[in-house]
Chains A and B, each alone.
Chain A
């Protein structure tokens, strides 16, 4: 079991460019989460899918961020017109079930740097 896979590990974009981040959850896990981590804000929830359906996107900045889960084996987080304040580590996590007692497994993260 390779764990949660995130690609790329590092991405550098220019201001105004688009960035797409990929996540492959652990096989058989039905819940997928995206988080953003910065020194100042810490770990912030962005969005949550269960059985590929979007359940809660209350943490997503509305205008430029979008997330999809087209099939059970991958999810994407897209940031349009990236801004320097979007620089962060973006973490994907998966759980076997949607229940709050299920262990959450994190990927290594994608470090996004917006110049």
Chain B
């Protein structure tokens, strides 16, 4: 799993496999966002899951959120080589100002 003090995690799988990436956070948040960053590009938001949601799906992606354990996961089913990227989770700041805090990320390599 990823969070601030951990090093970048790395996964290497074959195309067609399913994969789950985990993220844990330390402070209260009302939202967890999952991002994907491909080489040479900026991060792109994949899924935003709110604290009152336990699961959210988007195509082959599924995000879960467990506020009691302060953890979230992102699953990708039927991976493609084009899913190769670094995946980040991010939490929102508290109070009136939004200051995202990003995990170190999981580097996913999907071999064709």
**B90 → A minimal CB distance (Å):** 8
A104 in contact with B33 (CB, 8 Å)? yes
Chain A: how many interface residues by the 8 Å CB criterion? 26
Residues from chain A with a CB closer than 8 A to the CB of B30 are 100
**B92 → A minimal CB distance (Å):** 4
A108 in contact with B41 (CB, 8 Å)? yes
Q: Given A48-B97, A48-B99, A100-B93, is A42 in contact with B105 using a C-beta cutoff of 8 Å?
A: yes
From the candidates B41, B45, B98, name the one contacting A100 in the complex (CB within 8 A). Answer: B98
Residues from chain B with a CB closer than 8 A to the CB of A91 are 42-43
Question: Bound complex: CA of A17 vs CA of B50, how far in Å?
Answer: 44
B59 within 8 A of A: no
**B76 → A minimal CB distance (Å):** 20
B101 within 8 A of A: yes
Residues from chain B with a CB closer than 8 A to the CB of A109 are 41-42
Question: Bound complex: CA of A11 vs CA of B42, how far in Å?
Answer: 17
A43 in contact with B99 (CB, 8 Å)? no
Question: Bound complex: CA of A99 vs CA of B97, how far in Å?
Answer: 8
Q: Given A39-B8, A42-B4, A42-B105, is A103 in contact with B45 using a C-beta cutoff of 8 Å?
A: yes
B87 within 8 A of A: no
Residues from chain A with a CB closer than 8 A to the CB of B105 are 42-43
Question: Bound complex: CA of A109 vs CA of B39, how far in Å?
Answer: 11
Closest to A59 in B: B99
Task: Offer 27 A-B interface pairs, CB within 8 angstroms, sorted by A.
Answer: A31-B98, A33-B100, A42-B4, A42-B88, A42-B105, A43-B43, A43-B88, A43-B105, A44-B102, A45-B100, A48-B98, A48-B99, A55-B97, A58-B99, A59-B99, A100-B30, A100-B92, A100-B98, A101-B48, A101-B50, A103-B45, A103-B48, A104-B100, A105-B45, A106-B43, A107-B42, A108-B40
Chain B residues in the interface with A (C-beta under 8 A): 4, 8, 30-31, 33, 40-45, 48, 50, 88, 92-93, 97-105
Chain A residues in the interface with B (C-beta under 8 A): 4, 31, 33, 39, 42-45, 48, 55-56, 58-59, 91, 93, 98-101, 103-109
